Amino acid sequence: MGKTAIITGAGSGLGQATAVRLAEEGVNIAVVDVSEKGANETVALVKKAGADAIFIQADVSKEAEVKNYVDKTLEHFGSIDYFFNNAGISGSGKYFLESDVAEIERIVGINLLGALYGVRYVADVMVKNGGGSIVNTSSSAGVIGQDSVVTYAATKHAIVGMTKSLVAEYAKDGLRVNAIAPGPTETKMVAEFYAANPQMKENATGGIPQKRLGTPEEVAELVTFLLTSKAQYINGEVVRIDGGFTNTK
């Protein structure tokens, strides 16, 4: 039946691009997103690329909904080989002391608790079945400090720690866990953030040596490489894909 991947935040941006790229490699996709419209678009794109796909709606900040998407994937496909633990939000762009507690809790709930719940249930399946591969989405804000994203940066730094520690515990059981640290990328989330904070786009692109944003397709190539058998001896790494942005900091 082929390999199966779960992708969270698969209704747009990096998740959607990676779903399509993996489908081109014959990987079936469990498309997980809170948005039905975007997710159904991804399902159609995956099937057009020649693989099977199902949509499972989930708010990843809710543990029961995370467990459900894992259970539904197993019911439909019978296995979980790859996991792109990708769902996340950026926040308002307000300075930390101007942000409210509700925003802090929402960002932590989706970006950190959602990622932890995901690996808790997916890695359990993988270890019991002899192994698997996970890629977690961190960020340039997960490897350097950046202003106006304090809570977001806290969650993305935490993703790095989670990635490395999972390897320390479960590499011996066949689990590979890596993270990506994208810089500013042409996604809907980034576009909305820059629309609300236009000066930040100017600052970001001015600080990227390649003088442009990345594309979801470029990130999808990296994720596909890290997830699949082509990267068997890469484990516990945080791979920056940012046009040199963090290299200059």
Is this structure's pTM higher than 0.85? yes
φ, ψ for residue 54, nearest 5 deg: -130, 150
The whole-chain average pLDDT of the chain stands at 95
Among this protein's residues, is 69 annotated catalytic? no
Can you identify the CATH homologous superfamily of domain 4-248? NAD(P)-binding Rossmann-like Domain (3.40.50.720)
Residue 211 is classified by DSSP as: S
**Quick one: average pLDDT of 72-83?**
98
Digit-coded pLDDT (tens) for 94-122:
999 999 999 999 999 999 999 999 999 99
* SS percent in the chain: helix, strand, coil, step 5: 55, 15, 30
Where do the domains of the chain lie? 4-248
In this prediction, residue 201 has a pLDDT band, given cuts at 50, 70 and 90, of low
pLDDT of residue 192: 76
Tell whether the torsion through CA atoms of 121, 122, 124 and 129 is positive or negative.
positive
pLDDT digits (tens, 9 = 90+) for 149-169: 999 999 999 999 999 999 999
What is the pLDDT confidence band of residue 204, given thresholds at 50, 70 and 90?
low
Percent above pLDDT 70 for the chain: 96
Please tell me which residue in 69, 82, 121, 152 is annotated as part of the active site. 152
Tell me if 152 sits within 8 A of 190, measured CB to CB. Answer: no
Contact 81, 133 (CB under 8 A): yes
User: Residue 134: enclosing H or E segment and its boundaries?
Assistant: strand 132-137
What is the pLDDT at residue 1?
66
Q: What are the angstrom distances between the C-alpha of 164 and each of 13, 15, 18, 170, 174?
A: 25, 22, 22, 10, 15
Contact 148, 189 (CB under 8 A): no
Give pLDDT, residue 199: 67
Mean pLDDT score, 127-156? 97
